[in-house]
Amino acid sequence: MYRVAVKMIGDKDAVRDIVQEVFVCLYEKGKGTDEINNYSAWLYKATYFKSIDYLKANKRFSKLETIEDRTCQEESYEQKEVKKMIQNALNKLDPKNRFLVVLYSEGLSYKEMAEITEINFASVGKTLSRALKKMEKELKTEYYELF
């Protein structure tokens, strides 16, 4: 969940809050009568929706440099720029495709991805292939601009 949320929004402080909110939501759901059949899929989905909510809420605000960014001296300038480049390329994808690519990077099967994203199983391959192609194109453009 943490990994997925970091890949979706990039801000680690916000991700901690999101993970906490998802667990609170799960706890509230556990009290009610609604039954969750697939906990793993539910947690992934809840993380996705919370991440989308966060992105929508913070759309108007540009991200300020966090303390973590300033204090982390271990990473070189180049490494930081590459990470920023990957995050930008991911952000260029629409949220659903971004989520699909993030789940793909987590090593999930097409069946699991179809269940979580509610994309038809037969079209997972096609959607993923297009998303990866678009991301590759974005990465190439960003890399060209950067170096």
According to the binding rule CB under 8 A, does residue 53 interact with another protein? no
According to the binding rule CB under 8 A, does residue 41 interact with another protein? no
According to the binding rule CB under 8 A, does residue 114 interact with another protein? no
Per the CB < 8 A criterion, the answer to whether 26 and 43 are in contact is yes
Q: What token pair was written down for 20? A: 């906490």
According to the binding rule CB under 8 A, does residue 55 interact with another protein? no
According to the binding rule CB under 8 A, does residue 119 interact with another protein? no
State which of residues 13, 80, 129, 146 lies at the interface with another protein (CB under 8 A): 129
Q: Where are the alpha helices (DSSP H) in the chain?
A: 2-9, 12-31, 39-57, 67-71, 77-92, 95-105, 110-117, 121-146
- Between the alpha carbon of residue 52 and those of residues 11, 41, 77, 103, 138, the distances in Å are 13, 17, 29, 15, 21
Nearer to another protein, 26 or 52 (CB): 26
According to the binding rule CB under 8 A, does residue 14 interact with another protein? no
According to the binding rule CB under 8 A, does residue 2 interact with another protein? yes
State which of residues 40, 58, 66, 109 lies at the interface with another protein (CB under 8 A): 109
Q: What token pair was written down for 72? A: 């982390």
- Between the alpha carbon of residue 136 and those of residues 92, 117, 127, 129, the distances in Å are 11, 22, 14, 11
**Which residues contribute to the site for another protein (CB under 8 A)?**
2-3, 6-7, 10, 12, 16, 19, 23, 26-27, 30, 82-83, 86-87, 90, 101-102, 104-105, 107, 109-110, 125-126, 128-129, 132-133, 135-136, 139
